[in-house]
Structure 1
């Protein structure tokens, strides 16, 4: 059996890798998949915020921010990369109840505010693993909600999957976003082939002891990327951003030729995996 992909794992090089996305902030914004409206509904029903605000950790360009802001939720967004934060401000300009803070979550202070919800959309694995649970707990008031979610994608066509993996391996890519076939994903959140993926935070939350009412949910939906958008997506992924420039250019060229030869698009399974917990 193939190993489960490291969907949620801190690579050990979080400090440099978590800010490589800013080099291609526009491509990130154009190419990255978003999140299901059902996930937002689940989070807000669980949190029952009332008039309390939400805190978003690692907001990026606002793939999740806009969904919560559109529901009327006041959101404070902490984003470590100033270039990503600039795009985030543009994308949320119509929401006066969104505040964007450019800086590391580890250095940010809630300033005495108790947030009703702290959420992280495909970013929690970049936060310092030694401090993140303390930081989350200190930002949340009693009964506050922690919501962590990720959005992996998986290739549907086995032949295309194999061809993509061949390109990745020849250029030294580790942990590409399409490193598991869609058929390996079942119904249980955080799993591939029925096994929990590395870095899935449920066990850490349980061991911490300051959170309760743990809940996990998986949402599945179909995605179709044309060649240009898929290349934007890959160019925004840290596993590709850290490649030498000439390798990245050649990899994207070969991937583009492959997709164009197969109809100019790729069909993917989109996954949204959600963890919810409440402060004791």
Structure 2
């Protein structure tokens, strides 16, 4: 089945259509991850710049630790919610722009971080921009939340639905992971950075990969709300989105009214030479 989709040229700003829902259903990042970033980067009074801050799912966690942050966010609807959430943190400044068009005005930072947002910055410019934004010895921290479905039968059923609707990059892509070893390097990967090394060569060093895992249960309705916040579903027509979500809901209800998943938070760290 082929589903009608809107033009996804602005796919990185479709989340603003459901900014409040996005903020409510998206997973936070582990406190241990934030601690690892700050232990590695130690930005001090040089502060941090966050790329694609969204509604502040990561921003608040760093602001609570006293880190001054300049938040760069392209979508005005996400930025407005971010302003409300960070109103109590005087060290947070919000600047509405995409990273590639952001006016840095000569400022440099001790830390540049991006939470499930780095892939939206054009690959051909992002490392040049990151290098320019960092003070000597400054650090890059990139992290993502991935989901893995624990029940193999449910995973197969969801994959079948995805295939019928030609959906890719959904939370159903991966099966669940063993929960042993909460923090570890990526399994079997020489380095998650390997595909980026040519762009980073001579400018970044001390590359590190860390991984955190958290079990999570979604009741059916909350999971459908979560899917509504995913770009693969946002760019579908309303009719197609409703149809696929009805099928997913029926599958979850047939398996007890929810889904067991593991959230895998991957953290990539590097330092300016």
Is TM-score (shorter-chain normalized) higher than 0.5?
Answer: yes
* Alignment correspondent of 1:74: 68
Matches within 5 A, 1:228-239: 228-239=221-232
Number of aligned residue pairs? 264
Between stretches 261-270 and 178-187, larger displacement belongs to: 178-187
Alpha-carbon distance in 1 for matches of 2:87, 2:194: 35
Q: Report what 2:247 is aligned to.
A: 254
Matched residues in 2 for 1:183 and 1:84: separation? 32
> CA deviation digits over 1:26-54, x for unaligned, max 9?
22111111211001000001111221210
Partner residue in 2 for 1:10: none
**1:123 and 2:117 correspond:** yes
| Alignment gaps of 5+ in structure 2 | 1-6
User: Is 2:154 aligned against 1:160?
Assistant: yes
**Residue of structure 1 equivalent to 2:196:** 204
In structure 2, which of residues 8, 22, 29 is the aligned counterpart of residue 28 of structure 1?
22
Give 1:195 shift: 5.0
Q: Does residue 37 of the first structure (1) align with residue 31 of the second (2)?
A: yes
TM-score by length of 1: 0.88
Match of 2:175 in 1: 181
Aligned to 1:133: 127
Indicate conservation of the 8 Å contact 1:15/1:126, yes or no: no
State the match for 2:88 in structure 1: 94
Q: CA deviation at 1:223?
A: 1.0
Q: Is the 8 A contact 1:14 1:127 kept in 2?
A: no
After superposition, what is the alpha-carbon deviation per residue over 1:189-239, rounded to whole angstroms, capped at 9, x for unaligned? 455xx3579xx4444146522001111101111111122221121111111
Given that residues 120 and 148 in structure 1 are in contact (C-alpha distance below 8 angstroms), is that contact kept between their aligned partners in structure 2?
Answer: yes
User: What is the distance in 2 between the residues matched to 1:65 and 1:126?
Assistant: 18
Task: Note the residue ranges of structure 1 that are not aligned, 5 or more in a row.
Answer: 1-12
Residue in structure 2 matching 1:214, options 202, 207, 216:
207
Q: Write the distance in 2 (CA, Å) between the matches of 1:14 and 1:184.
A: 35
Say if 2:179 and 2:213, in contact at 8 Å, map to a contact too.
no
Q: State the TM-score, normalizing by the size of structure 2.
A: 0.90
For residues 250 and 21 of structure 2, the distance between their equivalents in structure 1, rounded to whole angstroms, comes to 19
| 1:54 and 1:115 in contact (8 A); partners too | yes
Aligned CA RMSD, in angstroms, stands at: 2.1
Q: 1:108 to 1:207 in 2, by over 3 A?
A: closer
The Cα offsets for residues 114-163 of structure 1, whole Å up to 9 and x where unpaired, read as 10000001110110111100100111000001001111011000111111
The SS at the match of 1:172 is: coil
CA distance in 1: counterparts of 2:261 and 2:254, whole angstroms: 17
Residue 17 of structure 1: aligned partner: 11
- Any idea what the Cα deviations from partners look like across 1:70-128, whole Å, max 9, x if unmatched? 10111111111111111111221221211111111111122121100000011101101
